Amino acid sequence: MSKRTREFECNKDPDMFGFMCGQYTIIRRRRVFSDHIKTLYSKYFGIEPKNAEKPWTPNTLCTSCRVELIQWESGQQTKFDTPMIWREPTCHSIECYICQTKVLGVGRSRGVTYASVPTVTLPVLHSTAVADPVPLSTVTSECGGSSCTEFRMENERNVLSQAQLNDWIRDLELSKEKAEIHTSRMQQFKFVSSDVKVTYSRTRHEPFSKHYTKKDSICYCNDIPGLFKEFGQTYDSKEWRLFIDGNKLSLKAVLLHIGNKKPSIPIAHAVNTKETYEEMQKILKFIKYEEHDWKICSDLKVVAMLCGLQSGYTKHCCFLCKWDSRARKDHYVRKDWPERVEFTVGVDNIKYTPLVKKEKIILPPLHIKLGLIKNFVKALDKEGEAFDYLKTVFPDISQAKIKEGIFVGPQIRKLINNNQ
């Protein structure tokens, strides 16, 4: 055969290996991967010979594989169920099958150690568990008119479409790299439709990324109605609530659907950012909060910042009333406190101009429950029977946490459901 004229980046000629089997082949057993053989390849395996002309894949077949396809055309049984699948390596020194396969010795003493890399899927031979592909001659003779349609329906039954496979990958929470490997394995055993793309996950974010912008270390959605349109959903701001929360290093803003009938949608995220009034102001400005006017569901710390309250242990720390945190003798006695009507900077611990109206604030039920249990436990007599009973119910919790009333959701449910 003629010498390969294509330039290649591998440390050895890829044509030393067969495109269909991936095996090392000596020169006299190499055959050109002609157009006729490629046509047989596509009909036999149901897929196109992808990447056959790339510089990092072979453009040859060994004589055995070529004979297998020709014999199948005449109606004989073959040994392959799926061929070698080639994917482009990002690093030839690590991921390239050609570069990593070691060919040692010369002549009959030559030894080959085949590489195990994620950029290729090894071929699968026939077994009793896998049905043989129908010969081309049988398909041509028996498939005609309505029988042809029935034949295709029979062979395409119980396979996943691209949309179904995308839902499957989303439910499994697979990364892009793992999604490609998973799709490749599904395609290898013909569990997916022939038009499914293995590399679909590489670009699955592009239709949505155009609706996001990064500015001042904050990534935010610049067109929320357009994002919903991309999802194929109608947008109504009254059906969604804005949730803002963060930890020591990041801050996020998410839309929550009323009743949790639809999944949450992240619309802003700031890395290496703490919960401060300035950052909250930036996020609300970027996402155009005034246009949407969502109701806000957040913890009391974020609510205080949005209402312009001074942080820390202040005297008037509530955004609804003028509860006096220093009047400890009245905390469990007095029930009515004056309502906070005005938010004047410098008065009653108001430090900043409020970013949202207090009527738009919704307190999370879990936070209310945690606060009620905390105050209930702190009001107990530490030497009484009720407090001693809590120690026996929760022996794994430290006495310091019990004393301060620090409980989580499952512990609270256990305590409420306790009939004793």
Question: Which residue type, as a one-letter code, is found at position 398?
Answer: S
pLDDT in tens, 343-371: 889 888 889 999 999 899 988 777 777 77
Q: Confidence band (pLDDT; 50, 70, 90) for 82?
A: confident
Q: Which is more confident, 75 or 315?
A: 315
Whether the CB-CB separation of 59 and 19 falls below 8 Å is answered with yes
State which H helix or E strand residue 246 sits in: strand 240-246
- Whether 29 shows a pLDDT value over 90: the answer reads no
In the predicted model, what is the mean pLDDT of residues 83-112? Answer: 76
Tokens (6 digits) for 82: 């799926």
On the question of pLDDT at 154 being above 80, the answer is no
3-state secondary structure of 197: coil
Give the tens place of pLDDT for each residue, 183-197. 888 888 888 888 888
Mean pLDDT in the chain?
81
pLDDT above 70: percentage of residues in the chain: 87
| H-only helix segments in 189-267 | 206-209, 224-231
222 contacts: CB under 8 Å, gap ≥ 6:
211, 212, 213, 286
d(CA 81, CA 182) in angstroms, rounded, equals 18
Residue 105 has a pLDDT of 61
Give the number of C-alpha atoms closer than 13 A to the C-alpha of residue 331, restricted to the C-beta side: 11
The answer to whether residues 81 and 124 touch, using CB atoms and an 8 Å cutoff, is: yes
The mean pLDDT of 9-14, rounded to a whole number, is: 79
Q: Shortest CA distance to 265 belongs to which of 208, 319, 341, 191? A: 208
54 DSSP assignment: S
DSSP letter at 105 equals: S
Residue 55 near residue 8 (C-beta atoms within 8 A): yes
Report phi then psi at 212, rounded to 5: -115, 150
Mean pLDDT throughout 397-405? 81
What confidence score (pLDDT) does residue 415 get?
Answer: 78
Three-class secondary structure of residue 14 per DSSP: helix
pLDDT of residue 8: 55
* Helical packing angle, 176-188 and 162-172, nearest 10°: 130
pLDDT the model gives residue 255: 93
d(CA 184, CA 163): 16
Structure tokens at 211: 């609706």
Q: Bridge partners of 247?
A: none
Indicate if the pLDDT at residue 414 is higher than 70: yes
Crossing angle of helices 63-73 and 35-45, rounded to 10°? 70
Q: What is the pLDDT of residue 148?
A: 45
Kindly indicate the confidence band of residue 174, based on its pLDDT and cuts at 50, 70 and 90.
Answer: confident
Instruction: Express as a percent the part of the chain with pLDDT over 90.
Output: 15
**Is a pLDDT exceeding 50 seen at residue 150?**
no
Model pLDDT for residues 299-329, shown as the tens digit of each residue: 888 898 999 998 888 889 888 888 998 888 8
Query: What is the rounded distance in angstroms from the CA atom of residue 26 to the CA atom of residue 35?
Result: 22
pLDDT in tens, 191-239: 888 888 888 888 878 888 899 999 888 999 999 999 999 888 899 999 9
Residue 38: pLDDT over 60: yes
